[in-house]
Chains A and B, each alone.
Chain A
Amino acid sequence: MKIVLFISQLILFIGLAPLLSGLITRIKNNIRMRKGQSVFQPYYNLAKFFSKGEVVSDTASWIFRVTPFVVFSSSLAAALFIPVFIFSSPALHIGDFLVLIFIFALGRFFLALAALDTGSAFGGMGSSREMFISSLVEPALCLAIFSLSLEFGSTDITAFSGMHPVSVSSFAASATLFLVTLAETSRVPVDNQETHLELTMVHEAMVLEYSGRSLAIIEAASYIKQMVLFFLIAQVIFPIGLPAISGPVQSALWVLWYLIRIIIIAAAVALVEVTVAKMRLFRVADFLGFAFILGVIAVVCAVLGV
């Protein structure tokens, strides 16, 4: 029974991930006073990619072929950590939240390699920039988790997912996580998902050579990753515990509440994307430095107990 619930939770999570992306695009468009695309556009895109043929560069090696699956695997593995309506504990003692950082690193590592594999200058550029940004993201992310661990007494997933009071520290930590998420999900001040301009693109430059089914898998993986990161922020800033009795009503309520939180975060991201200008690559270092400082503030607050 638990396994069934767990798998259905995973499928729900994966299934909703593209919707989130569509939602953000839709909100952005609406803020810009445009009608905008359907919120289901990411699903259409995925379906289109799956039905299209695939072109593989003749300079590419097996790294290029394998990467989509590694990226997919890393994103899905991260999704396993996230409770939507059930937290199945004993079977899934994979690790704590620290493991999450490393699992994301695995997918990113291969994506960057695949970008170099085709021998295109775009790929190299994207790969270099992505590794640059992600390496600067790590200390901020680590500090955010550190301050949370100070607050909850452990880096455990259940501790994160439980009900806890919102303090200044967790507020600062969630702000850090928010900035980190903007960078990790290639959102505007850092990257821009909407253009393919060689001066600005980072993530898109890396996956430029992918097409068809491989591209679909990579896109799906990045949707899932975005969902995981959003959950993290949501749980820190709008904490809510899993219902003690996992009856259908409580679970349904919890899923609803879960969705509302995610939508709020999505709206915030969309707002930032519309109002803030894209930064030059080397300003990103300052941006993430700011995130780092916020992380330090979070730790200081946690030490002071506020």
Chain B
Amino acid sequence: MKVFYFLYGLWVLMMDIPGKQFFLFDPLSLFFLFVICVISLPSAVYSIGYFSPKGNPPAAEDSHYPPAKIILAWFLLFVFVLSMALVVTTNNVLAFLVFWEIMSLVSYFLVVFDTKHEKSINAGMIYIVMTHIGTAFLTAAFLIMYRYSGSFDYLAIKNACQTMPLGTKNTVFLLLLTGFGTKAGVVPLHIWLPYAHPQAPSHISSIMSGVMIKTAIYGIIRFVIFILGVNSSWWGVLILILAVISCLVGVIYALMEHDIKRLLAYHSVENIGIILLGVGLAMFFISLKLPYLAVFSLIAGLYHLINHAIFKGLLFLCAGSVYKATGTRDMEKLGGLIKKMPQTAVYFLLGAMAISALPPLNGFVSEWLTLQAFFLGALNVTGGVKLFLGICAAMLALTSGLAAACFVKAFGITFLAQPRSHYAKDAKEVSLSMKAGMFFLSFLTVIFGLAAVRIVKLLAKVAGAAAGLDISKMNFSVNNFTLSPQTGKGIYLSMPLLGLILVLLGLSGFMIYKLFSRRKAVIYKTWDCGYYKTGPRNEYTATAFSKPFRIAFSFFLLPYRRTQKVRESFYHVKSFTYETHTTKVFKKYIYDPMLALVFKTAKSMRRIQPGSIHLYLGYIFVTVLLLIIFMRNF
């Protein structure tokens, strides 16, 4: 609530500035403001329990937070949320950049908040470098826009962009895409995301993954669709291709991961891809002058955006609860938590079902809408584009299949079967405030699934305003509980009905079951093939679970193994270690060579830095002289 009061106060202040309106409260901004608030509030509530020393496992005594640090965390959280809110509501490019930078810096401090871990520092380093590269691209784009408009005001720039030459427009688009893509974690600019997000405290991870990367989507919609205006169809196609790659790369890496928070972070890459499928499709349709489809695709993208914010926020909070209760994020050491932490398990299950696009939860609706946008789009374009859209849709289907597999792994290995280590054995259910945060978000996953029609109607306004299209003649629903993109075509989705039918049929199954229940079920050990001591060591592990995927996608993952045998004698192997890893292709083939190049250049540049102060002074001196001579000739 503090955030609101402060925002309100700031708003009143800013409105007083004569002449210029500082804020823009159009539907798009309000929508993003809503997303920010709806994730930040439960996360803030959650953090009360997360920071309290109660409930920490005995093994993780050192993870207590001192009171001063907790206050610092609250302060940073406050500034972080505020900066995001300002980013999405400001009406001024310069202010946007400033708030954007504040947001990046504060989130950097939050990433390195647990500085005890070496990893945090590294992750923070990668994050701050990448995010600044992104900001540099944005600055360049904004400067070019400024050259044409002479003003930092959105509407002025929007007007100026009408007369911008096409070449410049393309350049600006590419700069914006790179800049915002870095923040959103679009492949191949995603490398910071899986390092930075898991390192922050969990409620911050949930805000970062749930909301912060969405501000980049806001940027793309605001600056590319709203201000710049789409008139080349290759923009949309480029975004679609990047989005498909992001989806697949994100989900395949997530499958390989057994650090539960990093797994979720990779899923953020995937889901940003799905969101961008909607946005890219909208851009494509705008350029083809198909307003209805453009609005529909944008609705799908925005719907998935808020859904992802909700379920990813929820999942990160659940993962944080697991971490809090067990002291480890390694899934291979967990297991059986459904009995120790029954409520957290239910919340995680709901989140996992939502992200796997299972009906009747929210993820399903938005993925259905996105697929439907592809299907409808294909009916309205001609030629090879149909095939392109079809393959994109197929890749989306593949992604959702892989995501389901990944979350079977994440939930199954973490929560089901027997505990694999003492970490999981000693876990206890988390405190009330943490449960409250998770409950709220899991409640929303259900609500956003069932109330699809209302939400689509609201989003239609947002999408119409963002794309500058008139939506008053467009019809997105047959009646108040059936969703139908094209009335009369017989394409519909009724979430309440679907939910009702699933529940009713499940109940009828239960009744059949009860009808025949003459004997009570016997509780007995799991079948062990006659082996007399089955235990946690016999269970399938996360690595084993993902092995088929590792082999099937080996052309991309390039897995390798390290084995080490310690022999006592030729016949007796005393110990045997076996590790399997996957090659991080983007790091190895893009970033490492680039880094090597930078270092090489830096090394050769070092020659002009021999340490002699005179030489340095001489550089300044010579520069001044050259400038004078230049001045003379000018």
Contact = CB atoms under 8 A, between A and B. Distances in A.
Contacts of B357: 102, 105
Given A94-B494, A99-B359, A155-B372, 7 more contacts: A55-B522, A69-B506, A105-B358, A124-B539, A129-B548, A142-B393, A285-B552
A132 B524 contact: no
Contacts of A106: 353, 358-359, 502
Contacts of A303: 383-384, 386-387
13 contacts: A53-B521, A56-B521, A57-B527, A73-B503, A73-B505, A93-B478, A98-B368, A106-B353, A109-B356, A113-B408, A154-B490, A285-B552, A295-B394
B526 A120 contact: yes
A74 interface: yes
B404 A59 contact: no
Which size class do B's interface residues fall under?
A: 35 or more
Interface in B311-338: 335-336, 338
A95 B360 CA distance: 12
Contacts of B309: none
Given A76-B505, A121-B538, A123-B540, A157 B519 contact: no
A303 B387 CA distance: 7
A295 B345 CA distance: 39
- Top 3 nearest A-B pairs (CB, nearest first) are A124-B540, A135-B401, A156-B490
Contacts of B507: 69
Contacts of A72: 505-506, 509
Interface in B376-403: 378-379, 383-384, 386-387, 390-391, 393-398, 400-402
Contacts of A62: 338
A108 interface: yes
B527 A208 contact: yes
Contacts, number: 281
Which size class do A's interface residues fall under?
A: 35 or more
Interface in A14-39: none
Interface string A48-68: 001101111111111100001
Contacts of B411: 113
Given A68-B509, A116-B417, A58 B384 contact: no
B188 interface: no
B274 to A, nearest CB: 14
A61 B489 contact: no
Contact of B375 (A95, A113, A146): A146
Interface in B344-365: 345, 349, 353, 356-359, 364
Given A105-B357, A127-B408, A150-B378, A282 B551 contact: yes
A209 B397 contact: no
B412 interface: yes
A153 to B, nearest CB: 6
Contacts of A94: 492-494, 497-498, 501
Contacts of B390: 143, 146-147, 150, 296, 299
A299 B388 CA distance: 10
A113 B502 contact: no
Interface of A: 50-51, 53-63, 68-70, 72-74, 76-77, 80, 93-96, 98-99, 101-103, 105-106, 108-109, 112-113, 116-125, 127-129, 131-132, 134-143, 146-147, 149-150, 153-159, 208-209, 212-214, 216-217, 281-282, 285, 292, 295-296, 299-300, 302-303
Contacts of A131: 401, 404-405, 408-409
B497 A93 contact: yes
B492 A96 contact: yes
B516 interface: yes
Contact of A57 (B368, B387, B391, B526): B526
B513 A102 contact: no
A146 B548 contact: no
A159 B490 contact: yes
Contacts of A156: 489-491
Given A55-B522, A128-B545, A117 B417 contact: yes
Nearest to A66: B506
Contact of A143 (B394, B527, B548, B551): B394
